[in-house]
Amino acid sequence: MALPHVPPIDAALEPKLRALLDGKAKPPGSLGRLEELAVRIGLIQNRLDPRIGRTDLYVFAGDHGLTQEGVSAYPAAVTIAMVGLFLSGRSSVSALAKAGGVHVRVVDAGVDADLPEHPEMISAKIRRGTRNAAVEPALSRDEVLTALLRGADIAREAAADGADVIALGEMGIGNSSSAALVMHRLAPAPLDDCVGLGTGHDAEGLARKRAAIAKAAARSDAAHPLDVLAEFGGCEIAMMAGAALGAASARRVILVDGFISTAAVLAAIRLEPAVLDYCVFAHGSAERGHPAMLRALGVRPLLDLDLRLGEGTGAALAAPLLVAAAHLLTDVADLAEVVAGPG
């Protein structure tokens, strides 16, 4: 099973994009990082007149056997309940997505339940939750590859249907523990720097979470991205990694949410380094490991709002900035027009 090929971005267009921005009716560089974002979008789309017409946000959902070790303050049943809330349009990400005209869909990557069909849900289940990574591999190598390919297909189908941006969100009780293990091996980073409060532990709960994650890490020395995803990953994390690969292969902007989505994209980048060029990181999460993971990738997020909910909430908030950045290149008058004046 071959993973998608990711074409490298052609940097030859960059000087033309920067010259075009510098020639607009504003002082050069006066719109700061928004101008950098405009250049990034132009390079991804390989055009001087990029457009961001539609953003599709996928909330990948999956359960984790590691919850048996008490790594979460909430029971695994909350994953199923939250999927229902997403589909009802009454979740946090649903509300924020409406503000930016973002289309939200749910992907059942590995929820531990048989979910009824719904027009806004993609059934792509790998298995009903992962195995307990503290005692055995969370997924088999074949399950990881299947998740990657299904994620890639979802992104490529969205691109073929007209999506200009593929935004990545997630839901899965226990998945901040899985993401911490992925970060630990693939950033790489010391394990203690990767483990945060997640869903809101008290001191006792955080100590229990740290012990369970350390137990899982000690069980395997996996370092290759596929092996790391198999030993410690989640169905939703592996499928998000595949979606990043698929979106990049289709030359679409990948809008990455917070800690867990970044861990998934980290795995995709370690598999195909060119994926990084297609990524825009929406926000800096308040989850402990996220700043270090962003530094390991050499990137800065667009927003800093102390978010740590997940779901794609940060991506939904950042999506209008991509539209604005593209409009800089297409809708702002050239300085020469202003200087010449009417007639």
Q: What are phi and psi of 191, to 5 degrees?
A: -60, -40
Of the candidates 4, 322, 3, the residue with the CA atom closest to the CA atom of residue 165: 322
Positive or negative torsion for Cα 228, 234, 239, 241: negative
Cβ contact 310:257 at 8 Å = yes
Q: Where in the chain is the domain with CATH 1.10.1610.10?
A: 11-51+327-340
Tell me the per-residue pLDDT of 197-220, one tens digit each, with 9 for 90 and over. 776 667 888 899 999 999 999 999
Task: Give me 213's structure tokens.
Answer: 């994650």
Q: Environment class of residue 248 by beta-carbon count within 10 Å: exposed (0-12), middle (13-18) or buried (19+)?
A: buried
Instruction: State how far the Cα of 157 lies from the Cα of 246, in Å rounded to an integer.
Output: 9
Give the amino acid at 35: E
Yes or no: is domain 11-51+327-340 CATH 2.30.30.60?
Answer: no
Parallel, antiparallel, or unpaired: how do β-strands 165-171 and 121-123 relate?
Answer: unpaired
Give every residue of the chain whose pLDDT is below 70, as ranges: 1, 199-201, 341-343
Tell me the per-residue pLDDT of 218-242, one tens digit each, with 9 for 90 and over. 999 999 999 999 999 999 999 999 9
Positive or negative torsion for Cα 118, 121, 122, 126: negative
Cβ contact 123:115 at 8 Å = yes
Level-2 CATH architecture, domain 55-321: 3-Layer(aba) Sandwich (3.40)
Catalytic residues: 311
Q: What are phi and psi of 12, to 5 degrees?
A: -65, -25
Instruction: State how far the Cα of 312 lies from the Cα of 340, in Å rounded to an integer.
Output: 46
Collapsing DSSP to helix, strand or coil, 151 comes out as helix
Measured CA to CA in angstroms, residue 135 lies from 130, 213, 225, 227 at distances of 12, 11, 20, 15
Collapsing DSSP to helix, strand or coil, 220 comes out as coil
* Total-model pTM: 0.96
Give the amino acid at 213: I
Q: Environment class of residue 18 by beta-carbon count within 10 Å: exposed (0-12), middle (13-18) or buried (19+)?
A: middle
Q: Where in the chain is the domain with CATH 3.40.50.10210?
A: 55-321
- Write down the pLDDT at residue 343: 55
- Write down the pLDDT at residue 254: 99
- Write down the pLDDT at residue 200: 67
